[in-house]
Amino acid sequence: MNADLEKREDPYNVTQASRIFFLPNLMTAGNLFCGFMAVVNCIHARLAETALSGQYLDASPADHYRAAVWFILGAAAFDTLDGRLARMGGRESLFGAEFDSLADVVSFGFAPTLMMFFFILSPSQGIPWFRSIGWFVGFSFLLCAAIRLARFNVITNPLLHRGKKESSKDFVGLPVPAAAATVASLMLFLLKLAENDKSLQAWALALPFLMLLIAFLMVSTVRYPSGKQIDLQTKTRMRTFVAVLGIGALIVFYKEIGMLVLCLGYIFFGLFRHLRRARRPKHVVPHATNSL
């Protein structure tokens, strides 16, 4: 028994906490690389919109924006894999958590912010007041993403003693990858519209409010369902299985609309569930005792 305890890794030990496990951190490095490439493509897209730089680039702005979208979604895939590999192999460490958050700031904070500022909130869309609020909306998204990641590291730190409420499997606040995926899917949808109609002003008017709502939800206490417990042994109901297949088919055949519907559905599902729970009357249990 004592031998097993000695072999068990202590998360409070400096040496153990700073260990770099290869596979999980390789996935995190892939996440960071995708975020970097998304930023690069956003910059190239912006340069391609200028008359002088077109001779140096071999792709249109829309092509670069689409590439940035897929890199952000690729970063989300790597972000999912690194956590699962760490949990499956029992190789979770404080270093991995900090490295993952730093990569997430680039991939799901800065890259979507640059994308929405260059395209979605760009003054070139023809709405002058975007010149005044575009930077504010973009920075608000980036700031809330950084705060959300910092808070997540704090509340999941093994040094803290969490109660029953804090031990819930749900996410507290909108997950940063979900927020970034919403921006990415919105970009795909707008690029699809731009192919048929060059004017995006009607849609652009609502975008700052949507971006601010997403930013607020990241730092809110609204709980969102987590998929961390889903594995090959997970059981589900038939209607849930059919619904997942239907959503998958919608994304495959109508990826621009399907991805946007999925992301917005996740956002508003958590929000409506939170509002519904808040309206429920709180029943007092007579024999409940104060744990303090």
**HEC-encoded secondary structure of the chain:** CHHHHHHCCCCCCHHHHCCCCHHHHHHHHHHHHHHHHHHHHHHHHHHHCCCCCHHHCCCCHHHHHHHHHHHHHHHHHHHHHHHHHHHHHCCCCHHHHHHHHHHHHHHHHHHHHHHHHHHHCCHHHCCCCHHHHHHHHHHHHHHHHHHHHHHHHHHCCCCCCCCCCCCCCCEECCCHHHHHHHHHHHHHHHHHHHHHCCCCHHHHCCHHHHHHHHHHHHHCCCEECCCCCCCCCCCCCHHHHHHHHHHHHHHHHCHHHHHHHHHHHHHHHHHHHHHHHHHCCCCCCCCCCCCC
Are the C-beta atoms of residues 193 and 248 closer than 8 Å to each other?
no
Which pLDDT value is given to residue 155?
83
Which pLDDT belongs to residue 267?
Answer: 92
Would you state the pLDDT for residue 30? 92
pLDDT at 204: 64
**Which segments in the chain show pLDDT lower than 70?**
1-21, 51-58, 86-92, 122-131, 158-168, 196-205, 227-241, 243-244, 247, 250-251, 281-292
pLDDT score of 57: 55
pLDDT of residue 3: 46
| pLDDT computed for residue 2 by the predictor | 45
As given in the structure block, the two tokens for residue 68 are 């940035």
| Of 185, 156, 159, 155, the residue nearest 73 (C-alpha) | 185
- What pLDDT does residue 208 have? 82
Q: What pLDDT sits at residue 285?
A: 46
Please give the model's pTM, rounded to 2 decimal places. Answer: 0.80
**pLDDT, position 282:** 61
